[in-house]
Structures are given as structure tokens and as C-alpha cells.
Structure 1
Amino acid sequence: MQHLFDHSIESIMVTDEEGIIQQVNAAFTQITGYEAEEAIGQTPRLVQSVRHEPEFYRLMWQQLQQSGSWSGQVWNRRKTGEVYLQWLNINSLTDEGGRVTHRVAIGHDLTGLKSVHDERRLFTFKDPLTQLGNRQLLTSRLDQALAEAERNKIRVGLMVLDIGRLRPVNEQLGLAWGDDVLRQQARTLQAAVDEADTLVRLQGDQFAVLRHSRAGDAAMAQLADKLLGLLGQPIVLADQNIVKLQSSIGIAIYPRDATDNAGLLQAAEHAHAMAKRAGRNRFQFVDQRQHDLHHRELQIEHSLHHVLNTAAGEGLSLHYQPQVCSSSGEILAMEALLRWQHPTLGPVFPDEFIAVAEQSGQSVRLDRWVLEQVCAQVANWLQDYPQLPMVSVNLSAQQFSQPDFADWLQACVDNAGIAPTRLKLEVTETTMMEHTDTCVAMLERLRQMGFRISLDDFGTGYSALACLHQYPLDELKIDRSFMVEASVNERAFMLLKTIVSLAQQLSLSLVVEGVEQQEQLDLLADFGPLMVQGYYFYRPLPVADIMALLDERQPGI
């Protein structure tokens, strides 16, 4: 086996389950220019080019997680910066418990082919495993089909389907048997569809059927039902193992669900994902409202990735909402709140783009962008306002899985030339309850470094009331919804009163959010001086308006 690894003409890269390169062969070095010592310890991003959108890699990773394998063409980058085309096969290796331990990527450099014609003939349109067409062929045929459909005012139907749960087959019987299942199901599909249809293998165990005619809902549903029945038949392998799979099918129709090539494929893939979530062995047409929401999320995800890779953070800005003394109105602190003016979507609300950032793994970078901006802004303000109120910043749950966060934050305030005591770090009650051990350890360290710690959204969910004494806190922030309820419900008001008393006994500062009316402020009068935050006093304000406030009233801390 080692001899094959060392002498293979194909580049081989072995990573661990986290994607860290453990081993490469001589062909990898010859093709990429990176010596083993340069590659080991890095991630595959070392050879990643900029030819593919983030969605390409997201789908690749999704397919790897679902089926344990991926194959297709990839534009990669040599050490010299040259971009080259590679045919890549990635397979997951698992232990006896089914846990992924390693991934092996085997690549063939396509630039060595004799001619562009040979490259197109051998690789561009054909899937080597099933001998069907591939995604590139589908794209080409979609262009033709949609152009014809527009001229003749007819419908085009597109199905995206998977053959079922292939990953257990790969893990229990081996990749060779998994490939055999793919070939058998490909032949089943080929026999079932019309000659005029285009059948391709997209990636892994995913296929697509492009129907140029008879693409009404009834005809597409009839075909989908037929395919589900055929693909669900038991498969007998050469070693007499019997495999029974359950397919899922998503259907999109032109021009109802999309009007272009990429949009129709995306719509069918979304419908396919919905069918899988609904329980498999079923087909699903596009839910247009859900599809539009999904498309918007993808647009936000891609735009956010772009914004965070530009130094200026195009469109992102910070507003600051003062927190004031309930009795005097004096500004005691300010909360930094992120805003985004999207170039095509317009203003995107934080609840929406922060949720997308969390789902797409970008919340850590977003947090750190905000912290860098806040530190720079505080340093700038301190030149004119030495008695500047403390500024609070929200932290996402994902930040607590980053072991370097405390050191990074210390470096951030040091680079800005400000003291940690200038910042208040807000963590939500839900995050604290779901990640108690990691949160407590990291917050304890941050608090020892001088940062103040605030428990945000208190009273919204898990109710950490009984655990408050265990947490390294300086402050409680009572959520706006809690304040609204206390305004109309006597029992909620009594609970609010109990929380205020408990916070005082634990020497915790208290901020009440959502104070928007005089009646709400009056409810708090008997509790003594509190910090309140809400539209009654101030909305979130841009930097220029905050500076005007600081010029008018320079409060003590």
C-alpha cells in the first residue's frame, strides 16, 4: 500500500477528520509545487483557487458529510500561483464505530491532456463511474432547453434526486460496493427515463433528470413516483448482500420556479432537500416562498463572505444605543449594534444576517470584525471624551469554541491602546446554559483580564436564575419581552421585582431593555436607580449622533 502511495501518478492528500493535512505523496508535490513539509499541518485551502464560489465548497462538504464521498472537476492553484484543472475524488475513512477518522483526496491533473478537445470529450461531459453525463453536461443542456422553451413558450422540468442512504453501504461494505450500487442505480434510471430526457450524475449519489417535453406537474409527478418505486427495489450485490435504499426527489419547473439555468437547478436542489427533510421515499415540488427565502439566505451568505474579506467591511456599520440611569437619564454605557446596508437587498435586519452568519460558520469572523471596529472607535473617542461610558459588545455562541479568543481579544485592545475595562462583553442566557463549561471557563479568564461580563436576554428561555451564583458575571440584562409582559401581568411584575432584588444581593448591575413608554419607566421607580435601554430615551444612533450627545452631556462612569 505504501508503495502505491509513493509511486502513484495521481496526487494523494490525506487529512484528518478536521481537514488538517496529515500526508501527501510525491505526485502531489510534483503537481502543486508544495513539499510535504509545507503542506502537512495546513488545510486543503493551501491549493484552493478563487475560481469557485463559496457555494461550490459548501455543496462539496455537504455531499461528503451525507455520503462519505465526492468527485468532480476542481480548479486548484499551484505554489507558483498558476491555476489548473483537476479531477478530484474524495473518500471518507471511518473507524469501527462509524466515526470519520480520515479523508483521502486523489487528484488527476487535467492540464496534461493532449488537447482541449480531448479534455472536453473525456472529462467535461462524462461521469467516469456511471458513464452518464455530469453537471457540466446538464448545464449545457439546460442552456439549450431554456432557450428553446422561451422561444416556444413551453415548460421544462428538472428533477434532482439521490438514490438513498449510500454512506452506510460505503462504511459497512466498502467503497467498491458503494460504487457498484451507484452504477446499478444509474442503469435503472437510464432505463426508466425517456430517450429525449437528459440524465446526469451530479455528484456523490445525486442525479438529475432534465425533461424537455411533457414537463407539466402531472407528468413530472408520474415520473417521480415511477422512479421512487424502481430505486426502492432491493439490490443484490455480487457477494449476495441485499441493499434497500430510499430515494428523495425534488422537482422544479421552468418558468414557474425560476427563469434561468442556475436558478432552476438551485430550485430543484432546494425541493430535493425539502423531500429529504420530510422523511425520504417521496418527491417534492418547489415551495416558492421557501425557495425565495432560501435564495435570499444564500445571497446574504455569499455577500457576507465577500464583505468580511474586504478591509473596509463594505456596507457594515455600527450604531450605538445608550444605556441610561432610570432616574437621572445620565448615559452610563452604550451597546454596539451592527447594521448592514446590502448593495441590492437594501437594509438587512441583524436578526436575519446574524442567523445566516451562525448557520454558515461566519459568526466568529463577524464578531471579531465588530470588536476590532469597537476598539478602534473607543480609542478614537477617548481622545476627546476621557470620561467615555463603557461600550458593550455581543458575543456569538460559536466564539466560545475558539480557544484563541481570549488571547486574540487581549491583542485587539492592546493594538487599539485601550484598557479591557472599557468593554463589556454580552453573552446570551441561551448560550450560557447550552455551553456552560466552556462559557464559564472562558468568561472567568476574560473577567480576570479586566473585561466586564453581562448576561444578555435574561428571562427569555432556559431561566438561569438558579445558576446565577455559578457564573462569572457583572451584570444582568432583562430582555425586552420580559419588560413588556411585566407591564400587563402582575405575576410577571412580581418576578421582575424578585430578579432585581436577587441581582442586588449578588452585587450585579442590572439593565432593563425595552423601556419605550413612561408607564414602563414608572413601574421601575420603586426599584431604585437602574440602567434602562430603549426607545423611550434613545434609539440606536450612528457615530455622528453619539458624538453630538457626548458633546452635550459628558457623564461620569
Structure 2
Amino acid sequence: MKHTTKHREGRQPTLNFRDSASHPNDVSLANSPKHSLFFKRQLLQHLFEHSVESVMVTDVNGIIERVNAAFTDITGYSAKEAIGQRPNLVQSSRHQPSFYAQMWQQLEKTGSWSGQVWNRRKSGEVYLQWLNINTLNDEQGKVTHRVAIGHDLTNQQSMHNDRSLFTFKDPLTQLGNRQLLTSRLDQALAEAERNNIRIGLMVVDIGRFRQINEQLGLAWGDDILRQQARTLQAAVDEADTLVRLQGDMFAILRHSRAQDAAMAQLADKLLNLMSQPIILADKSVVSLQPSIGIAIYPRDAEDNAGLLQAAEHAHSMAKRAGRNRFQFVDQRQHDLHHRELQIEHSLQHVLSNELGEGLSLYYQPQVRPTDGKIMAMEALLRWQHPKLGTLSPAEFIPIAEQSAQSVRLDRWVIEQACMQVAQWRERYSQVPVVSVNLSAPQFREPDFADWLQACVASCGIKPECIKLEVTETTMMTQKNNCVAMLGRLRELGFKISLDDFGTGYSALACLHQFPLDELKIDRNFMVEASQDPRALLLLKTIVHLAQELSLTLVVEGVEDQAQLNLLANFGPLTVQGYYYYRPMPAADINKLLG
């Protein structure tokens, strides 16, 4: 799969101001809905342009759509330089990937995040910023934009000596905040390492907080948070550190008595206290469903960020299991989750670097069995991760799709393949067509056909040099989008291949509707055909159907002579598999073309 992000102009985010109460005798233009809307837009624009805080607005894919003058003053980047880029334009190297992973987890859970961040100006200077990020949703609750408002802390006097309430205290609950937890964790970990002791970290949420805010309003939600904060404060030991992390999330750092039994006993106590019905001032009763995740140092993690991430993951597992429960870290699941996050953020970093450090393309020839001639080559993505070693596409491509990076990855591969084809065509008289794979999200990108046409043109090659492979799964799940997009691409001259045919998604019934040039039989189909006469008969039927539809045919997974012999009487086709060639780097392909 592959990627490249196309910068698009999205609609501007709309912030809604509540109508201010006017004097009853004040009849003005502002009372008119038309002029009221005009006034609100003017006010919003004025606040945006003249705020002393930097403001950055991104679309749902993380592409910057707007910045204000304060952003330019603080970062040194003009609006023209920032728009179309990603927020990592100002990212420093002070934070580990786990810091940003936790930030995004919090954004996904609650829709907001706030805290101190070390960012980098255009000049290269690193500066400390207090950052608030909030999510904007449309009427259906779908995320449309994110707004980041930042306050430059560089000029605060005596920042390290004057630990202000702003830095370490949550103003709503009067508990400590995430910054206090980070500071205390550093101290606790150092002491635990010196004295060879365990420390425990709990992440607690009160449960149903979003529904409470929606049903009762923010004022009642804040009141419930304060009540639960007092409940927690009364339940924990004086030696423990209790903080509010974000929203309805709290954390408890236990500096001693962090054995599993003691942590479980405390968790049981907290669940019992926090699930008690809460009586509000209007006599209404609210019942909550708290969840608790528990991580232990050094068993579950050995550093500050890792321990918090482990506790948050355990908390997520407790919520998934049904709430009103606590969960210790499942180390296997935690390690898997941590690896996925590491791959996700490494991929984001790699794709932000135009060189695609660690990514490379291998090519596997498709051969005509009658004379061994190479008819085409498939471009296959490989990734040599600096810490995790060689990663299989089967592992990192699903992560790319889940994290909305598959479009960029697709386009990176296409660009590299086009440039490689251009180099080969300069050196060799005959260069086979090169096929690249397209992921399902690519077909939701309205600019893809235009982008692809521009890509091949910029490399000086023709569309006929590139074959686009679409899996049967994608074709069936994105049928309408695929048919329209591929129809246009085929008209532009690109070859279209239906990949993984035979995986069971019923493409056979509507095969005639697809704008195709080629049918590619999945390797599992070939394996079954070599073992089951009925599967072989079905394979023959498909081959005959492809020929009737004037489609070229490629059979994947041909690994031995016996399989090749099965295809001897099937008519003209090409095969792809280890029997002829394994995937190889471009340098080895040079030897085949030369």
C-alpha cells in the first residue's frame, strides 16, 4: 500500500456563540437573525485575528486550514507556509512518541487535550507552550475540525522556581493536574529504582460523563466532578498523589504499598464509593459506572510515559469489559498495543519525511510460462524499522489504514514506482508495466485521478506504464466509488487489475460491471486447486470466463512445477510466484532488464 497527502481547502470551522441577552427595550439590528449572524461572524473573525494566543485549525485528517497572526508571531511561520502542512511543522524533539500517542488517545476519548508542550519555532528555537486542543463536530456528531490554542510560556518569569497554580493545579477540582503527576512520577521512579521498590499507578474515570454533560449540562457535570474528586481525596492515603488528568479522568500514584493485593483492595474500595448514587442540588439522582486501570513499576513499565500509557491501556480494557471493574495490565496486550502505537507514530514520522526513511520498494516479476518472458512487475512495499527491524506489510498496512495514513502511504509508493519506471525507461529499451496496489480509502479521495495523472506526467512516463491493483474486498465494499474512479483512470490510460480474486467476496456475479483489464487469481485459490479437483474445475471456469471477457489473467502463488503443470492447458496467462522469482530490490531487476 502507499500514501501521500493532498492539501485541500476544506470548509472553515464554525464556532457558535450563544445569543447575549439584550436589554428588553433595546431593539437593534442585532435582534434580526440575519444581522445577528453577521455580527457573530464579525466577532468571531475579530477574536481569531486579534487574539494574543496562537490559533491553529486543522481538518479531520490533521491538515492545517487556518492560523492567526499570533501563530505567525510566535512560531515565525506565515499562514502561507503553514496551511496545507501538518501540526508537526512546529514539533520539537523534546518529547517521546509515547507523549503524542497519549495526547491522541485523550483526544479520541474526550475530544480535548491540554498541557505543556515543547515546540520549535521556524528559527529552530525550542519554546514551551501551554496548549489546548478541542474537537469540533457537525450536527451528526462527526468530527470535522480540531482547534489548537496555544499560550507561549517562554516569557514567564522564574518558571522553574515559581511553581504556580496554573502549572500544577486543576482549577475545577483543586487537585493536582497532569503536570504534577509527571513531576511526582519522576521523583517516585527515581526513589523506586534506588530502593528497589514497586510503585503503582491507577487511572480512574467516573463513567457516563459525556451522557451527563449532554443530559444535565456542563454546570451539573462540573459539580459531579468536584464531588467525585472529594470522594477520591478522602479515600486515598495522604502519601498518595491524586490528580485530575483530563475530563472525568483521574490518576492515583501510590508511592508505597503497591503490591497487587493492596492495589486491588484500593480499587475495590474506590469502585464501591464512586458507584454510589449522587444526589444533586435539585434532588435528582445520578448513578455512575467507574472503571480503573492499574499499572505497576517495574513490572509493567520502566519510565514515566510508559507507566502512564500502561495504566491508561489497562483502563481502556476495563471499560471494554463492561465498566464497574478494575483491570491490571495484560502484558501481552499492552506490549502489542505499545508496538502498534510505535509503528503508527513511526509511520507518521517517516511519511512526513519526503525521503521515506526505512521504506523501500521490491518488485516481483510476472512471467509468461510458455517462454519465461517477464510481462509485468508488482511493486511491493518493505519497511526496515530502526528499532523493530523488518516489518511485514501484513502488520503495518492495517495500522496505516486504522490511523488514516493509508492514502499517504499509497501515494508515496506510487511516486517511488513512477520515478523508478522513468529511470528504467531511460536505460532499457523494453520495460514491463509496473503494478501498484491501492487501498480502499484512496477511492474516497476525489482528487486521486487528477493527482495520479499529474504524478506520471511529472515523472515523464505515460499512464500505460502503470497498472493499478484493487483487491476484490475493496472492489466489493467500495463498489460505486471504485467503478466510477477506475472507469476514469482507465479512460486516462492506466491498466486496471482485480487483485486477490477468489477470496470469497462474490465479485464473480458482477465481474462484467467492473472497468478491468486483468484478473489476478489469489494464491490460496491456486493452493486449493492443486489439492481439490472441484477447486481445479472452478479455476478452469474462471479462466474461461476471463478469456470470454477479454481480460488478461495472472495466477499468484505458483511455487512448484506441479502447480505450473496444472495451468498448462489453460491458454494464455502469466504467473507470479517463487517458482520463478521472489520479490527483489530495483538493483536486481536491473540485471533482468539489462
TM value normalised by structure 1: 0.89
The answer on 1:339 being equivalent to 2:387 is no
2:214 corresponding residue in structure 1 = 171
Unaligned ranges ≥5, structure 1: 552-557
Q: Is the 8 A contact 2:58 2:66 kept in 1?
A: no
Superposition pairs for residues 283-432 of structure 1, below 5 Å? 283-432=326-475
2:569 corresponding residue in structure 1 = 526
Alignment equivalent of 1:139, drawn from 158, 182, 197: 182
Q: CA separation in 2, counterparts of 1:447 and 1:501?
A: 23
Q: Cα–Cα, structure 1 residues 319 and 180, in superposed 2: closer, same or farther, change >3 Å? A: same
Matched residue SS, 1:116:
coil
User: Deviation digits for residues 204-245 of structure 1, max 9, x if unmatched?
Assistant: 222211111111111111211222222222333334443322
Matched residue SS, 1:488:
coil
User: Deviation digits for residues 409-432 of structure 1, max 9, x if unmatched?
Assistant: 111111110000001011111111
2:298 corresponding residue in structure 1 = 255
Alignment equivalent of 1:124, drawn from 161, 167, 170: 167
Q: Is the 8 A contact 2:453 2:463 kept in 1?
A: yes
Q: CA separation in 1, counterparts of 2:249 and 2:519?
A: 50
Q: Is the 8 A contact 1:247 1:280 kept in 2?
A: yes
Q: Cα–Cα, structure 1 residues 93 and 167, in superposed 2: closer, same or farther, change >3 Å? A: farther
Q: Is the 8 A contact 2:293 2:315 kept in 1?
A: yes
Q: Cα–Cα, structure 1 residues 395 and 9, in superposed 2: closer, same or farther, change >3 Å? A: closer
Superposition pairs for residues 528-547 of structure 1, below 5 Å? 528-547=571-590
Q: Cα–Cα, structure 1 residues 182 and 77, in superposed 2: closer, same or farther, change >3 Å? A: farther
Amino acid at match of 1:184: Q
2:557 corresponding residue in structure 1 = 514
1:555 corresponding residue in structure 2 = none
Q: Cα–Cα, structure 1 residues 515 and 34, in superposed 2: closer, same or farther, change >3 Å? A: closer
Percent identical among aligned pairs is 74
Q: Cα–Cα, structure 1 residues 132 and 43, in superposed 2: closer, same or farther, change >3 Å? A: farther
Q: Is the 8 A contact 1:47 1:76 kept in 2?
A: no
Higher mean Cα deviation, 47-56 or 226-235? 47-56
Q: Is the 8 A contact 2:102 2:309 kept in 1?
A: no
Amino acid at match of 1:275: A
Q: CA separation in 1, counterparts of 2:189 and 2:299?
A: 12
Amino acid at match of 1:70: W
Q: Is the 8 A contact 1:512 1:532 kept in 2?
A: yes
Higher mean Cα deviation, 5-14 or 195-204? 5-14
Q: CA separation in 2, counterparts of 1:543 and 1:103?
A: 41
Q: Cα–Cα, structure 1 residues 114 and 260, in superposed 2: closer, same or farther, change >3 Å? A: closer
The answer on 1:242 being equivalent to 2:285 is yes
Q: Cα–Cα, structure 1 residues 124 and 505, in superposed 2: closer, same or farther, change >3 Å? A: same
Superposition pairs for residues 438-517 of structure 1, below 5 Å? 438-517=481-560
Q: Is the 8 A contact 2:98 2:305 kept in 1?
A: no
1:554 corresponding residue in structure 2 = none
Matched residue SS, 2:530:
helix
Deviation at 1:129, TM superposition (A): 2.3
Deviation at 1:388, TM superposition (A): 1.0
Q: CA separation in 2, counterparts of 1:25 and 1:338?
A: 39
Amino acid at match of 1:350: P
1:69 corresponding residue in structure 2 = 112
Alignment equivalent of 1:212, drawn from 245, 251, 255: 255
Q: CA separation in 2, counterparts of 1:97 and 1:123?
A: 35
Deviation at 1:84, TM superposition (A): 4.7
2:320 corresponding residue in structure 1 = 277
Amino acid at match of 2:184: R
Higher mean Cα deviation, 528-537 or 398-407? 398-407
2:87 corresponding residue in structure 1 = 45
Deviation at 1:313, TM superposition (A): 2.0
Q: CA separation in 2, counterparts of 1:322 and 1:122?
A: 65
Q: Is the 8 A contact 1:515 1:521 kept in 2?
A: yes
Q: CA separation in 2, counterparts of 1:237 and 1:94?
A: 29
User: Deviation digits for residues 76-107 of structure 1, max 9, x if unmatched?
Assistant: 56788766544344455667765567766555
Q: Cα–Cα, structure 1 residues 68 and 312, in superposed 2: closer, same or farther, change >3 Å? A: closer
Amino acid at match of 2:477: E
Q: CA separation in 2, counterparts of 1:306 and 1:99?
A: 27
Amino acid at match of 2:300: D
After superposition, the CA RMSD in angstroms is 3.1
Q: CA separation in 2, counterparts of 1:181 and 1:508?
A: 66
Higher mean Cα deviation, 462-471 or 409-418? 462-471
Q: Cα–Cα, structure 1 residues 200 and 537, in superposed 2: closer, same or farther, change >3 Å? A: same
Amino acid at match of 1:198: T
Superposition pairs for residues 84-123 of structure 1, below 5 Å? 84-92=127-135, 98=141, 107-111=150-154, 113-117=156-160, 120-123=163-166
Q: CA separation in 1, counterparts of 2:257 and 2:363?
A: 58
Matched residue SS, 2:323:
coil
Amino acid at match of 2:222: D
Q: CA separation in 1, counterparts of 2:143 and 2:347?
A: 30
Q: CA separation in 2, counterparts of 1:517 and 1:343?
A: 35
Q: Cα–Cα, structure 1 residues 361 and 517, in superposed 2: closer, same or farther, change >3 Å? A: same
1:185 corresponding residue in structure 2 = 228
The answer on 1:268 being equivalent to 2:325 is no
Bigger RCO (CA 8 Å, 6+ sep)? 2
Matched residue SS, 1:527:
coil
Q: Cα–Cα, structure 1 residues 296 and 374, in superposed 2: closer, same or farther, change >3 Å? A: same
Higher mean Cα deviation, 487-496 or 42-51? 42-51
TM value normalised by structure 2: 0.84
Unaligned ranges ≥5, structure 2: 1-16, 18-39
Query: How many residue pairs were aligned?
Result: 550
Q: CA separation in 2, counterparts of 1:9 and 1:320?
A: 53
